[in-house]
Chains A and B, each alone.
Chain A
Amino acid sequence: MNIQTSKESSVMVVKVTGRLDAVTAPEYERQFTLLITDGETRFVVDFEKLDYISSAGLRVLLATAKHIKAKSGQIHLANIGGAVKEVFDISGFGSIFPMHESVASALNATVG
């Protein structure tokens, strides 16, 4: 897994590439914790290049979202497709997270 960040106005765009599994999930959580500690509150997570996610990945996604919510922040997900989407759908995560078809529409939905 690789995580790249970029700042679009006041929104942190986090691009996740590769596998989000029991091995890489702690690193995802660590990176988000750093960003939140730095004062970031508005996030768009781009999953276009996410190849794989398991419950360990969803677990840190939810833990991170709870952390952001507790800081009155926002998290929007973009570009979830293919087999990854099925995992989101059957877990119910597809309805608890705002999901968007592009980073641009996720950014538009992020209230500044």
Chain B
Amino acid sequence: MVTHFHTLTCAANVGQLREIAEFVDECAERFGLDVKRTFGLQVAVEEAFVNICSYAYPEGNGTVVIAAGAEGDSLVLEISDNGKPFNVLKLPDPDTTLDITNRDIGGLGGYFIRRLTDNVSYRRENGQNILMLALQRTS
């Protein structure tokens, strides 16, 4: 059972990232997440948000809601949008072993979301994409 304690509603526009970063910091501080894990959460949320802006709302207009809650020892963030069905977790992992010349530009967003969280899931529900990210207070 997730106990929600903070919610942000904002336009699906990359220009909102500063506001989102402040929101994530507030949530992490209230929950008691350490600095290193907060940094990882910041990156994971940015990647999720930027992908929603590009793929769920390709025409540019839309709203994103980020709801933060606590469930036991985990900080849980649910990021939802009303855009096109899009699952960032389905994106393929990049090959992280290639050199500068052969490495593709991009493809890291979904990979960072998986690597920088303890638990992550996607569901499509009532016309919404809902991405759930969870980080434990201690690893």
Could you tell me which B residues sit within 8 Å of A by CB distance? Answer: 14-15, 17-18, 21, 35-36, 39-40, 42-43, 46-47, 50, 94-101, 103, 105-106, 108-109, 111-112, 115-116
Do residues A62 and B105 form an inter-chain contact, with CB atoms below 8 A? yes
Do A96 and B35 contact each other (CB < 8 Å), given the known contacts A21-B17, A87-B112?
A: no
Do residues B36 and A54 form an inter-chain contact, with CB atoms below 8 A? no
Chain A residue numbers with a CB within 8 Å of B15 are 23
Do residues A62 and B100 form an inter-chain contact, with CB atoms below 8 A? yes
Which DSSP category, helix, strand, loop or mixed, fits chain B's interface?
helix
Could you tell me which A residues sit within 8 Å of B by CB distance? Answer: 19, 21-23, 52-56, 58-59, 62-63, 65-66, 69, 83, 86-87, 90-92, 95-97
State in angstroms the CA–CA spacing of A90 and B36 once bound together. Answer: 14
Chain A residue numbers with a CB within 8 Å of B101 are 66, 69
Chain A residue numbers with a CB within 8 Å of B98 are 92, 96
Do residues A22 and B17 form an inter-chain contact, with CB atoms below 8 A? yes
Do residues B14 and A23 form an inter-chain contact, with CB atoms below 8 A? yes
Do residues A91 and B50 form an inter-chain contact, with CB atoms below 8 A? no
Do residues B39 and A83 form an inter-chain contact, with CB atoms below 8 A? yes
Q: Which 6 interchain pairs have the tightest Cβ spacing? A: A92-B96, A83-B39, A55-B108, A54-B46, A22-B50, A55-B109
Do A97 and B106 contact each other (CB < 8 Å), given the known contacts A22-B14, A83-B40, A86-B40?
A: no
